[in-house]
């Protein structure tokens, strides 16, 4: 079974209790902890480092370095969640990648939330229908999640709406601290509930409104960075997909080209493996464009939004 915190060298019953109280439930959590944060709990940076090293040895089993060939073989087993839209799956070469962070960027009404609803249904479908036969965890910061919409999409996909609703674990985040707390708490649900998709819609909303202006920028970015690294940990520890949405803002310093840019600056730009920009086009159509990816060219695909959800 799972290795307990107490099984680690240098961790007794009292320390294990302290660690759990601070949100470190497993050896995996400790292996990816920051020494600085752990030192605040344990009172010593040296002790924190020793425990992190012990946890890392257990988790990696000395296999930190592998050949590119081995990585290539490993990546053949990477799973994808179909978006339920042929054009978008083609654009993404399979769908939303499991183990990675994907960001949907766009102005209001571009379809970000609609696609989040659809993905929370798609992840539940069996593999042969593009899903993972798993559950979704949905963190809603803007109050725009609508179970009625999930019901419509589930019907369109031939799934039982009641069951689909039961397989979406939902939480409303009321401020940025609460949002980060929810992500910490999520650890308790993930393995028990077979969660393979975490959605945060939108990631940035509370951070922008709570830390307005230049004078708050540094603290906002620092906190945002911590939040994104929380999500990274979950994606790699539990082999699940993370999808977040982001708003766009006016870029006063740009005179040519696109006058809009994604909110959140460099922290967001570097935090996400795949960034997809949605925009509205003629006749209710939407365009998705990959703007940042280690493996895709910058290309576009068109999609629509209807009663049935997001469609080709």
Q: How many other C-beta atoms can be found within 10 angstroms of the C-beta atom of residue 81?
A: 29
Interaction of residue 112 with ligand ADP, rule CB under 6 A: yes
The distance from CA 42 to its chain's CA centroid, rounded to whole angstroms, is 29
* Closest CA relative to residue 178, chosen from 206, 211, 202: 206
* Nearest approach, Cβ of residue 171 and ligand ADP (Å): 18
* Closest CA relative to residue 305, chosen from 279, 285, 277, 288: 285
Nearer to ligand ADP, 44 or 306 (CB): 306
- Determine the angle formed by the axes of helices 45-60 and 35-42, rounding to 10 degrees: 120
Q: Pick from 65, 108, 255, 256: which binds ligand ADP (CB under 6 A)?
A: 108
Q: Pick from 110, 121, 198, 241: which binds ligand ADP (CB under 6 A)?
A: 110
Q: Pick from 113, 120, 124, 176: which binds ligand ADP (CB under 6 A)?
A: 113
Question: Considering only residues 215-244, where is the footprint of ligand ADP by CB under 6 A?
Answer: none
Interaction of residue 109 with ligand ADP, rule CB under 6 A: yes
CA–CA–CA angle 285, 290, 296 (5° rounding)? 135
Interaction of residue 113 with Mg ion, rule CB under 5 A: yes
Asked if 154 and 168 count as a contact pair (C-beta separation under 8 A), the reply is no
Question: Considering only residues 67-106, where is the footprint of ligand ADP by CB under 6 A?
Answer: 106
Q: Pick from 56, 114, 118, 176: which binds ligand ADP (CB under 6 A)?
A: 114
Q: Where are the beta strands (DSSP E) in 117-220?
A: 135-140, 168-172, 195-201
Nearer to ligand ADP, 118 or 176 (CB): 118
Residues that bind Mg ion (CB under 5 A): 112-113, 144
Residues that bind ligand ADP (CB under 6 A): 106, 108-114, 144, 305-307
């Amino acid at each position: 079974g799972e290795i307990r915190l107490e099984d680690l060298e240098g961790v007794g019953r009292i320390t294990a209790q302290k660690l759990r109280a601070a949100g470190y439930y497993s050896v995996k959590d400790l292996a990816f902890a920051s020494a600085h944060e752990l030192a605040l709990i344990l009172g010593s940076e040296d002790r924190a480092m020793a425990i992190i090293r012990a946890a890392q040895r257990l988790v990696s089993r000395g296999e930190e370095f592998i050949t590119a060939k081995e990585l290539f073989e490993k990546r053949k087993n990477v799973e994808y969640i179909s978006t339920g839209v042929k054009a978008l799956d083609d654009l993404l070469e399979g769908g939303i990648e499991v183990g990675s962070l994907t960001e949907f960027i766009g102005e209001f009404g571009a379809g970000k939330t609609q696609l989040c609803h659809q993905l929370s249904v798609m992840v539940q479908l069996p593999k042969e229908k593009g899903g993972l036969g798993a559950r979704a965890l949905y963190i809603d910061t803007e109050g725009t999640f609508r179970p009625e919409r999930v019901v419509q999409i589930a019907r369109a996909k031939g799934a039982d709406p009641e069951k689909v609703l039961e397989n979406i674990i939902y939480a409303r985040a009321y401020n940025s601290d609460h949002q980060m707390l929810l992500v910490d708490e999520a650890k308790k649900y993930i393995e028990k509930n077979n969660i393979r998709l975490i959605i945060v819609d939108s990631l940035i909303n509370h951070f922008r409104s709570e830390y307005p202006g230049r004078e708050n920028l540094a603290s906002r970015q620092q906190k945002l960075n911590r939040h994104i690294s929380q999500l990274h940990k979950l994606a790699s520890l539990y082999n699940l997909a993370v999808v977040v949405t982001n708003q766009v803002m006016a870029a006063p310093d740009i005179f040519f080209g696109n006058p809009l840019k994604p909110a959140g600056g460099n922290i967001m730009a570097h935090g996400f493996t795949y960034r997809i920009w949605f925009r509205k086009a003629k006749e209710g159509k939407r365009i998705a464009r990959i703007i940042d990816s280690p493996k895709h060219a910058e290309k576009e695909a068109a999609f629509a939004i209807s009663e049935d959800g997001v469609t080709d």
